[in-house]
Amino acid sequence: KPVVEPYLFFAGRCEAALDYYRQHLGAEIGLVMRYKDNPEPAGCPLPAHWDEKVMHASFTIGASRLMGSDGMKEQMPEDGHCMSLTLPTEAEAKRVFSALADGGNAFMPIGRTFWSPCFGMVTDRFGIHWMVTVPEQP
């Protein structure tokens, strides 16, 4: 089944946000991956000294799962979020990605990454940013 989760961008303040949400909302922090842990070069230049910044984090607040990152720049993006869509197969992910890109903008083509056999980023025709991913199979 497809799963849609909010993905939040914090412009260099993800760690502070996670601590704040833990303290005030009871957030439980799961995976935290830092830029220094990335085995592949970043797709665009990062601000200096961002090795310890959060490349990806997942956390829960109650029954809701959210994901977040410092992003790739110190300025907060206008929207500050996108939707993450997890699909069970590469064929389904490619089909959905293509549909979302129709009339939109596929700014990271769908393909293999070190964390997923199939991942891409697209803005649909309505201006909604999506990350489409297939989980790594054990």
Read off the pTM. Answer: 0.70
44-84 pLDDT per residue, tens:
677 778 889 999 999 998 888 999 998 876 665 566 678 88
DSSP structure class, residue 63: T
Query: What residue type is assigned to position 106 of the chain?
Result: A
Statement: residue 98 has pLDDT above 90: yes
The H or E element containing residue 65 is strand 64-69
Q: Provide the pLDDT for residue 73.
A: 65
